[in-house]
Amino acid sequence: MADISILTSRVAIMSALFLIKCLLVVPFVQGSRQKTVVNVAIFLQEDDDWVEITQVAIRSAVQLVKSRTSYSIQPHVYQFRGDKVYEAGEKVCDLITKGLAAIFGPESPEINELVQSLSSTLQIPQFQTIWNPRLSSLTADRSSPIFNLHPSAAALSKALATLVKDNDWKSYTIIYENDDGLLRLRESLNRRPADPAVTFRKLGPGPDYRPVLKQIKYSEDVHFILDCKAARILEVLRQAKEVNLLEDYHSYILTDLDAHTLDWTHFRNIRTNITAMRLLDPSSKALKSVTKAWKVNPPIIKTRTALLYDAFNVFVTSLADVEANNVTAAILRLDCDKRETAEHGAHLAEMARKYHDSRGILPGPLSGTISFDRQGQRQNFELQIIEYSKSEPSLFRLVGTWKSSNPNGVSYSVTSEEREKELQKEIQQKNFRVVSRLGAPYLMARVPEEGKIFYGNSRFEGYSMDIMQEICNVLNCSFTFELVPDGKYGNFDPVKKEWNGLIGHLLERKADLAICDLTITYERRRAVDFTMPFMTLGISVLYARAVKEPPELLSFSHPLSLDVWLYMATAYLVVSMIIFLVARINPNDWENPHPCDPRPTELENIWTIRNCFWLTLGSIMQQGCDLLPKGISTRMAAAMWWFFSLIMTASYTANMAAFLTMERMGPTIERAEDLAGQTKIKYGCLAGGSTCSFFKDTNFSTYHQMWIQMESADPTVFERSNADGVKRVLSSKRTYAFLMESATIEYEIERQCDLMQVGGPIDSKGYGIAMTTNFQYRKSFNEAILKMQEMGTLHRLKEKWWKEMNGGGQCAEDKQSSDEAATELGLDNVGGIFVVLAVGVAIALLFAVCEFLWNVKKVAVREHISLRESLKRELRFAFNIWDRQKRLGRRSSHLPSEEKREEIK
């Protein structure tokens, strides 16, 4: 605003100083045979390298006008620097006093503001050839004599906005030369999508732009709009190349319409995408025709030269239209200090607004269709979208056309098929820098062989390496692997405002691609791009298998506690004694020993201590007894014992089944949600990973509760790596579970047979190849991954590295055998029963021996023989298994006598 005030003051000062009287009136006589001299003023830039070609163009135009019309153009060409406002004003007023028909230029915005004010006041037609953002505000009147052949600021802004949208730039930096550049970019800034972040950097006076370019380098932006004069473009790009801002992944849009006329031979080896716009079509017939007369090459013609030539064409054609319409007008000699106006100005302005290319006096136009709106701004024009050709250095090629009548789209001339072929050719010539991190099975360091050293890619092996190899087999390219220094996946530090790990490595442009078990997340997707997932997975729970402890020898006794066993033994003894006492006092249990004797002298009770213990023992063993009570009291006591035996035996059997089942049970949790409802088993995840982010940012109450428990746990449940998490699960004895990606769990349980996966995935995510934003080869990589998926290559590689390489698949047999053994009991489970049987039988044998020896002694005493003889005779009979009858006494036969048998009966 301060500059505008200064310039306005200058206008006022100049208007006061330039007091020159009008001395003559030059009549514009129609039909005169003598050529009428028409004065015009042409202002050029003093330091313009193209003044000579511009003067050639002016002379050529003047000669054509003289040969084709009834008047002769007298050009008054002046060159001024931008700061020579006073001198330029003096020249304008001096020419006005001589009778000035029109003013062309000037090219300096400062001088143009003064000349534009004088032209508007005196109604002298002015034809501008520079970008002028203040024209519309000064020419609101329809009869204004000021016309600008340069595209308007609004039109250029819309073209830039369309290019940014078509290139899908999510963030970019605007490098501008002066504040007018921001006005020129206003529309593109207003139309930018909601997400992109736009940074502004001013170049400064120069000639050293490196400090600014280094700041841009540290900002990590890769897309730029460079708004500066054509003369500075190459120097800015040369210094940008020195600070590594001219790499493969960088993109530039140049706003100057003369960028294609520069000498680009020093940029032959760059692979940067450079897009520019031009108003001139070097292949047009009109441009080739006039440049042939000027003896110059069409591609190097500056836009301002062509616009000046077209302005001449509009002017002389409008003069001819005024003459053809029999309009009497005079080119007056005016005074800058008086409020007189030129009579011819309004007529020329009216005809200029009606200008049509078909009526042009001169060949052309050179800059395309020319028409003006009510403010004198050019309308209905076309801009050619051009790109720097990497295959043909120093040349720009036409890729599309932007029309002001359709500002929201570009008509591209390069088909998608042609683009694909070019990309394929570029890919074949490229060696991709791939960054990764060590972690089985994705990338592992190869063990050096004796006498052999590995270099380059041969240092590594793994799933990631094989995927990149398969992709390069499809795309016919090459790659080089390197490790990220900090070994991290990539997380954003809100304090430092920077990324670490693989993502940070990509953002610093130290690599083209990043591949490993890198999860595609929303936060990472905002920083970089990803290919389609090459593996789909989810978060699951890694837990230790139940380790079956060797059963104890007396494990069969575990269903009942020791107290219960003691109480049962006590009850057995007490009830046996009670039955004995009840049977003694119950008369119904005393029987006649000789049923044939109706009047017995004595009764017999069969419920001895031995028989009572046998009855209760047989009951609890569910075997019964051939002796049964007869009295009501004894039967009641026996029934109560039987009921007790029934309940205890059933309870023992049921608890034994449950006990054996518990021994074979696996985890005590069946899914991840089960962890939230208990506190015995601790659980955690990888610190700073995508799994951690999932639980931290989730809105699901159960998972949020799990995050609160993990965050508040002491000691910490977070681990630095997945390997540490696996070790902790193995060493925790089923008191810790680790939440991690299901793919990694599958890999671990194929090699660690003591591990298992609990439940299915609780979310769905994917591993993708990370790349810089707007990576130009992303589509090709997606197609290669899709092709590998359809051919089964991805499945084959996963089977290879999960189940075949490095000890994979060794737990398959263990899982199968454990499943088969789940329905049967081993000797360890029932070994105690055999021990009890053996001990019981041994005790029985011991008692048998004792009873045998006691009987031997009784026989020896009864039969008056020695113990030795008695022992021999009893042993001989015991081992004679065929002898079914035993003799009593020394002289008795083997069969008892009739009296003995009767006695026995």
Ranges of each domain in the chain: 2-151+286-380, 154-278+384-414, 429-538+768-825, 555-664, 836-904
What is the model's pLDDT at position 795?
Answer: 94
Q: What would the 3-class secondary structure string for 598-643 be? A: CCCCCCEECCCHHHHHHHHHHHHCCCCCCCCCCCHHHHHHHHHHHH
Record the tokens describing residue 58, joined without a space. 């002016």
What is the model's pLDDT at position 12?
Answer: 34
Q: Phi/psi at 387 (nearest 5 deg)?
A: -125, 145
CATH class of the domain at 555-664: mainly alpha
Residue 416 burial (10 A CB sphere; 0-12, 13-18, 19+): exposed
Paired with 147 in beta bridges are 127
Whole-number Å distance between alpha carbons of 401 and 404: 10
Confidence tier at 49 by pLDDT (50, 70, 90): low
Q: What is the mean pLDDT of the chain?
A: 82
**Distances 48 to 103, 108, 298 between C-alpha atoms, Å:** 19, 11, 18
Whole-number Å distance between alpha carbons of 803 and 748: 10
What is the model's pLDDT at position 192?
Answer: 53
2-151+286-380: CATH topology is Rossmann fold (3.40.50)
Task: Look at 478 and 290; give whichever has higher pLDDT.
Answer: 478
Confidence tier at 881 by pLDDT (50, 70, 90): low
**Closest to 878 in 3D by CA, of 843, 857, 844, 849:** 849
Please tell me which of 46-60, 381-395, 415-429, 653-667 the model is most confident about, judged by mean pLDDT.
415-429
What is the model's pLDDT at position 436?
Answer: 96
Amino acid 644 reads F
**Distances 564 to 440, 567, 572 between C-alpha atoms, Å:** 54, 5, 12
Confidence tier at 470 by pLDDT (50, 70, 90): very high
| Mean pLDDT, range 377-400, rounded to an integer | 83
What is the model's pLDDT at position 142?
Answer: 52
CATH annotation of 429-538+768-825: 3.40.190.10
Q: Among residues of the chain, what percentage have pLDDT more than 70?
A: 85
CATH 3.40.50.2300 fits 154-278+384-414, yes or no: yes
Does 555-664 match 2-151+286-380 at the fold level? no
Q: Which of 79-83, 248-252, 751-755, 822-826 has the lowest mean pLDDT?
A: 822-826
pLDDT of 149 over the 80 cut: yes
Confidence tier at 432 by pLDDT (50, 70, 90): very high
